[in-house]
Amino acid sequence: MSRDDILSELVSGRLRFHELDRLVGVSEAVRLRREALGALTGVGFEHISNSSIDAGGLVGRNIENMIGAVQVPLGVAGPLPVEGEFASGDFYLPLATTEGALVASVNRGCAAIREAGHVKVHIFQDMMTRAPVFRCESLEAALGLIKWVGENFERMKAASGRTTRHGELLRVEPFVVGRNVWLRLGFDTKDAMGMNMVTIASDAICDLVLSENSGVELVSLSGNMCVDKKPAAINTLLGRGKTVVAETVIPERVVSSKLKADPMRMVEVNYRKNLLGSARAGALGFNAHAANIIAAIFIACGQDVAHVVEGSTAITTVEKTDEGLYLAVTLPALEVGTVGGGTRVETQRECLEMLGLAGSGEPPGSNAKMLAEIIASAVLAGETSLIAAQAAHHLAEAHKRLGR
């Protein structure tokens, strides 16, 4: 068919958008889809068509029915001094957002922390989860399955290991409701965020389970006890991805000069807003706006943005001490990676390169841990600045100037 014939077939619906890639190649398919959609909607797509992203490297791996790319403004905050096991030094933070005042606020938090010293950060746990759900024919069969799991961990680990060179099964935790059994499988995924990896590995484990347990049926490879991209207490309690804590101490003079706030007022804002207010609302996160910073860095660095849900369950701590104002953030479930997924997109990879952690680390897993430490530190800078603004009643004024 000629190009005009293909366009006519697309507009009429006789040719489906998803059939184009094999018919004309990826780059031409992107252009033809865009032209057909323009004819159908009356939109020229002048800006969506302008992109330096290589569609050939993304279609079939990151996107389907591609028509172009949406651009998000990218700002930078920092430098932020970080002292962690994997991240050590001053880092400029890439923040992709359309929310006015966000970059400025994080930048102010970075300046206050920089004058005070640095952020100290530590990763307490690193484990990606998947939780298949099984229906057993009776309680006895459910008990038998749990007993079998307890006796066959090494065999389950070997089965999952045959599906990946990088992942490793670390833990299996059974949960029971009636005759239903969930096996919450925890994996080390090295520098990958790892959801695809653990899904394939979990499927191999399920095959082994079913081959040796009668009266047991797999209902779903994901049984929502993982819990993926949904707010859940289990992730806050047991962790998912990286469990990270970042802390800093800011002297009173810096709180006054840089943040224009009173330390005790910041303590009170955190107590009455982040703790009491969140508890009264039944929230799972006890923070001011952790999701803001996590989302902005996720978009900039090619992370799965839906995992902001788990990241937003952060808990912010503010205490007055003899040394000054102690601030900390605890992120129970921060899911990040530096290989795979959106990290292969050219613009996002440049942001990772700016942080010095694109691709696999040495040893394996160190780059993803470094990213987690930087993000937790950035969240702390953002929390510090916003709590100070609210304590000094500057929030509305900042948004009048920068966020309208």
The 10s digit of each residue's pLDDT in 343-357 is: 999 999 999 999 999
Q: Reply yes or no on whether 304 is catalytic.
A: yes
Would you state the pLDDT for residue 400?
59
Surface-to-core class of residue 378, CB atoms within 10 Å of its CB (0-12 exposed, 13-18 middle, 19+ buried): buried
Residue 1: which pLDDT band, with cuts at 50, 70 and 90? Answer: confident
Instruction: Give dist(CA 120, CA 311) in Å, integer.
Output: 19
- Please check whether residue 131 is in contact with residue 223, taking contact to mean a CB–CB distance below 8 angstroms: yes
Q: What 3-state DSSP class applies to 306?
A: helix
Residue 402: predicted pLDDT: 65
The predicted pLDDT at position 397 comes to: 66
* Averaged confidence pLDDT in the chain: 96
Q: pLDDT tens-digit profile of 255-267?
A: 999 999 999 999 9
- Annotated catalytic residue within 115, 247, 262, 399: 399
Q: Which of the two residues, 204 and 399, has the higher pLDDT score? A: 204
Predicted local distance difference test score (pLDDT) of residue 308: 98
Phi, psi of 370 (to 5 degrees): -60, -45
Which tens digit of pLDDT belongs to each residue from 151-169?
A: 999 999 999 999 998 899 9
Task: Give the per-residue pLDDT at 17.
Answer: 96
pLDDT tens readout for residues 275-329:
999 999 999 999 999 999 999 999 999 999 999 999 999 999 999 999 999 999 9
Any idea which architecture 74-126+231-402 has in CATH? Alpha-Beta Complex (3.90)
Q: Is 117 left (phi over 0), alpha (psi -120 to 50) or beta?
A: left
The predicted pLDDT at position 59 comes to 93
Domain boundaries, the chain: 18-71, 74-126+231-402, 132-220
Indicate if 90 belongs to the active site: no
Cα(193)–Cα(300) distance, rounded to whole angstroms? 16
List the alpha helices (DSSP H) in 302-393: 308-311, 346-355, 366-391
Say which of 28, 83, 99, 247 is annotated catalytic. Answer: 99
Of 247, 304, 319, 350, which residue is the catalytic one?
304
Under 8 Å CB-to-CB from 16, ≥6 apart: which residues?
none
Query: Is the model's pLDDT at 105 over the cut of 70?
Result: yes
pLDDT, one tens digit per residue, over 24-59 is 999 999 999 999 999 999 999 999 999 999 999 999
Other C-beta atoms within 10 Å of 220: how many?
Answer: 12
Specify the pLDDT at position 403.
Answer: 61
pLDDT of residue 263: 97
CATH class held by domain 132-220: alpha beta
In this prediction, residue 396 has a pLDDT band, given cuts at 50, 70 and 90, of: low
Residue 346 annotated in active site: no
